[in-house]
Amino acid sequence: MSILMTIAGAFLVLLVWFDFVATALTASQSGPVSRRVAYGVWRVFLFINKPFKSHALLACVGPLIIIVLINMWVSVVWLGWSLIYLGAEAPVLNGTTLLPADISSTIYFVGFTLTTLGTGDYVPADGFWQAMTVITAFNGIALITLSITYAIPVVQAAAAKRTVARQIAVMGESAEALAAQWAEAGHYQGVDTYFSDLTPQILDISQKHLAYPILHFFHSPEPDTALPLKLAALDEAILALPAEAYEVNPALRVAEHMCSNAISTFLNTLNKAFIHPADEEPPQILPQRLRKGTAKKVGSEREPEALSRRRKLLKALILQDGWTWNQIAKG
92: which strand partners? Answer: 124
Q: Does 71 score more than 80 pLDDT?
A: yes
Whole-angstrom distance, CA of residue 218 vs CA of residue 18: 24
Answer for the pair 90, 2: CB distance below 8 angstroms, yes or no.
Answer: no
Average pLDDT over residues 159-181: 92
Q: Percent helix, strand, coil in the chain (nearest 5)?
A: 70, 0, 30
pLDDT at 186: 65
Contact 202, 263 (CB under 8 A): yes
Q: State yes or no: pLDDT of 7 exceeds 90.
A: yes
Across-strand partners of 122?
94
Burial of 31 (0-12, 13-18, 19+ CB in 10 A): buried
Length of the chain: 331
Using a 10 angstrom Cβ sphere, with 0-12 exposed, 13-18 middle and 19 or more buried, the burial of residue 184 is exposed
- Residue 299 pLDDT: 46
CA 149 to chain centre: 16
Q: Which span out of 114-128, 133-147, 235-249, 279-293 was modeled with the highest average pLDDT?
A: 133-147
Model pLDDT for residues 256-299, shown as the tens digit of each residue: 999 999 999 999 999 888 899 999 999 988 776 666 654 444 44
| pLDDT number for residue 166 | 95
| Residues of the chain above pLDDT 70, percent | 93
pLDDT digits (tens, 9 = 90+) for 29-64: 889 999 999 999 999 999 999 999 999 999 999 999
For the beta carbon of residue 224, count every other beta carbon within 10 angstroms: 15
Residue 171 has pLDDT above 80, yes or no: yes
Distances in whole angstroms, Cα of residue 161 to Cα of each of 13, 104, 123, 199, 253: 34, 45, 49, 14, 26
**Which residue type occupies 51?**
P
Short-list 91, 237, 79, 74, CA closest to 141:
74
For the chain, the average pLDDT equals 90
pLDDT confidence bin for 100, thresholds 50/70/90 = very high
d(CA 280, CA 160): 31
Q: What pLDDT, in 10s, does the model give residues 203-216?
A: 999 999 999 999 99
pLDDT band at 1 (very low <50, low <70, confident <90, very high): low
Contact 240, 286 (CB under 8 A): yes
User: Which residue intervals of 49-123 are DSSP H helices?
Assistant: 55-59, 61-86, 103-114
User: Could you tell me where the beta strands, DSSP code E, fall in the chain?
Assistant: 92-94, 122-124
